[in-house]
A and B are shown apart, each in its own frame.
Chain A
Amino acid sequence: MEKADIDRASVDIDRASVVLDVPILWADHHVLKVRDALTNLEGVEDVYASSAWKQVLVSYDSAKTDSATIEKALAEAGYPVGEGEVPMLVLPGEKLRDPKWEVLGLRLTETNQADLEMSGEFRRY
């Protein structure tokens, strides 16, 4: 076996990855914060954080760090693994509406003539 192959094998042996469920990772700015918390951690090689899946995939060098350290860093950043849930942004009774609605101005409940003119004959039937 060539030396380079031996080195690569040792790298592969040390490289590990872990998938962590983070239920409160539900918005894009959470992704940025999670990445900030993990990418500078020693031994972390790559971070994939998804607000769609509410999961984090971390690739790391197992000789330098471990899953527990990563989980601890996440918890310290406010994203504990396996804890919490997506919050209800508006609760019944809060009466929060789309703020634009109150200042919408003239409301159209008639067909916009410009739309009709642009649309052509094919829309008629």
Chain B
Amino acid sequence: MAKRKTRTPEEATRDPASMALLECACRLDVETCFSRADTLVPCNIGSQGLCCRNCAMGPCRLVGRHDRGVCGATIDTIVARNFARGVAAGASAHSDHGRDLAYTLLEAVEGHAPDYGVRDPFKLVEVAGYLEIETDGRSVEEIAHDVAIAALEEFGRTHGKLGYLKRAPAKRQQIWHDVGIEPRSIDREIVEMLHRTHVGNDQEAEHILDHAMRCALGDGWGGSMLATDLSDILFGTPAPVLTDANLGVLREDMVNVVIHGHEPTLSEMIVAAALDPELIEYAESKGADGIQLAGICCTANETLMREGVPLAGNFLQQELAILTGAVEAMVVDIQCIMQGLAPVADHYHTELITTSAKAKIEGATHIEFDERRALEIAKEIIRRAIDRFPERGDVSIPDLHNPMVPGFSHEYIDYALGGLYRGSLRPLNDAIMAGRIRGVVANIGCNNTRVCHDFLHNYVVTEFLKNDVLVVETGCGAIASAKLGYMTPETAMKVAGPGLREVCETVGIPPVLHMGSCVDNSRILTVLSQMATEGGLGEDIADIPAVGMAPEWMSEKALSIATYCVASGAYVIMGARNPIAGSETVQQILSAGWESKVGGKLEFVTDESDECACEEIVRRSLEHIDKKRAALGLAEYDPSKWGRSGDQRMPDLLSLPLEERIEAVYGAPLS
């Protein structure tokens, strides 16, 4: 058997800061996820969804002449069950995150968590409206209490359906009702998904997958949407803020604390602790100039959007951050935290600190987070980090970071487009109808070591911008674009096509909008819903010229996100890996089958060559966008119609001598 090729740093990542640190890892012989991926060949059977481990008669690996498991389960059943279980796991992760935020809000208003409170009373009133809670004449605390209780009840509703479903366009709600996939409660659909996929239960692929949609909808329009709303109530609804992205944000002269994971609850307190004058003084007493926070993954996205805490990097950069030698503490909470962090930290002075009651890591220091004494714990963590500063050895921080403007909550987009008195998405709809914006792509999801880090994100986003497609992003996809420098308004001038450039120039927004963490994909659902009801782009999310994608996905949460987006009417493309490759039938169900049933479809586009996969993702996306434009009766996309606005003339004008330029601008020479 041929020996598996070890990739060079340039082949493993497209991010220059990561390349530099991978070279450092090779030099120091430190193992990372990149080197493990090179030596650990993925199981060819499991990766196609063909291995069933759901009972002790197996595992049954359906390859060769075997087309049924011991119990008789077919390939289609097993592939569908494996996919559905992934969706359930992803939905559980997002939703449990949402539940914890509801408890935090409840504890805050009941006085048990004094460091928290309602930071955005306007959002509280908005959410109370969705949850049918009376607000007139009531105090913020009373409303917040009822909102927290109502949110918690959504997880275990005893009858009816999820309250937030009514936020979808009417036509979409009718489709869910007709297909019978309205989630009854968040937890129930996850539990039922596990039940159905237990040995000897639901054994019809299409039926299993229908429930996967129901389960995922409970995530998108339930757990995730509640997580977003409750975070906004507790910590503020994001609005644009200027900050930086990539490992170069770490400081050689400061105590560096990296926050990593997914919840804003502790990290918001760490931000407060890092600003404490006493702790800053303590850091100075140890020889540092101050305390620098930086984030990884979605904890990063949460504090980035609200507090402007810079991004250190995305999922595949978590070990690399420690490899800089400049991180005193890496503080982690939940989800996407590699166990490989502990052995990397052992090479350095870095203390890996786990904080969630749900997630311990062998070799890490566990300081369990308790909302009731949140700031006290945060200060203890920062103090420990400061104590490590004198132990720091050689550092190698790549001098690479780019400015970025994140913070585009759906409320802020409304405000940016409609102004103070009349928030509206109408200008966006108008721009799509006119053809300045060809369509919208939501590029989301993870990194995956099986493809070149950030390459797929960067490639597809660049192509979409050139083709006048507005890109909205969350999660690690958003961090990839931020590192590339695409999240500034100036990017539109350099990269975007003529129509998109005109719109971005007029509004003053970047052509790639950072909308938050992975639970904040619910913000994208809200924007799409409003676009559908705004008029001009049909009556449903499925009518809108839009595509969702996760070209470098790896987590089960990504499967849940993809599935709820499809069940909401979107076309979703996933790259990197095809977990249903083992069954042509299941692939058909998720694609043509779901399209005829709910208007959205899920397709996996993979290729030995990352370039070929990207080209195909872009081709299919633009084809879909143009198909939807044609179905709406909109003008065919024609970039030659746009780009004659002021910005386009600017290079020509600047090339003229000033006196001629004045004449060109004013139509007459200066007297």
Residues of A within 8 A of B (CB): 17, 19, 46, 48, 53, 55, 57, 90-98, 100-101, 104-112, 115-116, 119, 123-125
Contact = CB atoms under 8 A, between A and B. Distances in A.
B410 A109 contact: yes
Contact of B526 (A90, A98, A109): A109
Contacts of A101: 239, 412, 415
Contacts of B426: 115
Contacts of B424: 108, 111-112, 115
Contacts of B308: 92-95
Interface of B: 122-123, 125-126, 237, 239-244, 307-308, 310, 403, 407, 410-412, 414-415, 418, 420, 422-426, 429, 433, 526, 530, 533-536, 538-539, 632-633, 654, 657-659, 661-662, 670-671
A106 B244 CA distance: 31
B239 A109 contact: no
A97 B241 contact: yes
Contact of B633 (A110, A115, A116, A125): A125
Contact of B126 (A106, A112, A115): A106
Majority secondary structure of chain A interface residues (helix, strand, loop or mixed): loop
B475 to A, nearest CB: 21
21 contacts: A19-B657, A53-B654, A57-B662, A91-B242, A92-B244, A92-B310, A93-B308, A95-B308, A97-B239, A98-B239, A100-B420, A101-B412, A101-B415, A104-B420, A107-B123, A107-B423, A109-B410, A112-B424, A115-B534, A116-B535, A124-B536
Contacts of B243: 92-93
B538 to A, nearest CB: 7
B251 to A, nearest CB: 11
Nearest to B308: A95
A100 B240 CA distance: 12
Contacts of A116: 534-535
Nearest to B416: A98
Contact of A97 (B240, B526, B633): B240
A112 B530 contact: no
Contacts of B539: 124
Contacts of B237: 107
3 A-B pairs with least C-beta separation: A123-B535, A123-B536, A101-B239
Contacts, number: 101
Contacts of B654: 53
A97 B420 CA distance: 14
Contact of A48 (B407, B530, B670): B670
B661 A107 contact: no
Nearest to B634: A125
Contact of A112 (B310, B422, B670): B422
A111 B533 contact: yes
Given A106-B125, A110-B533, A92 B242 contact: yes
Given A109-B126, A111-B534, 19 more contacts: A19-B659, A53-B658, A55-B658, A92-B403, A95-B308, A96-B241, A96-B242, A97-B239, A97-B240, A101-B239, A104-B415, A107-B411, A111-B424, A111-B533, A111-B535, A112-B422, A115-B534, A123-B536, A124-B539
A46 B670 contact: yes
Contacts of A109: 126, 410-411, 414, 423, 526, 530
Contacts of B412: 101
Contacts of B633: 125
B632 A125 contact: yes
Contacts of A92: 242-244, 308, 310, 403
Contacts of B241: 95-97
A111 B536 contact: no
Given A57-B659, A123-B535, A111 B530 contact: yes
A97 B243 CA distance: 12
Nearest to B671: A46
Contacts of B422: 108, 112, 115
Given A95-B307, A112-B422, A107 B414 contact: yes
Contact of B662 (A48, A96, A105, A124): A48
B634 to A, nearest CB: 9
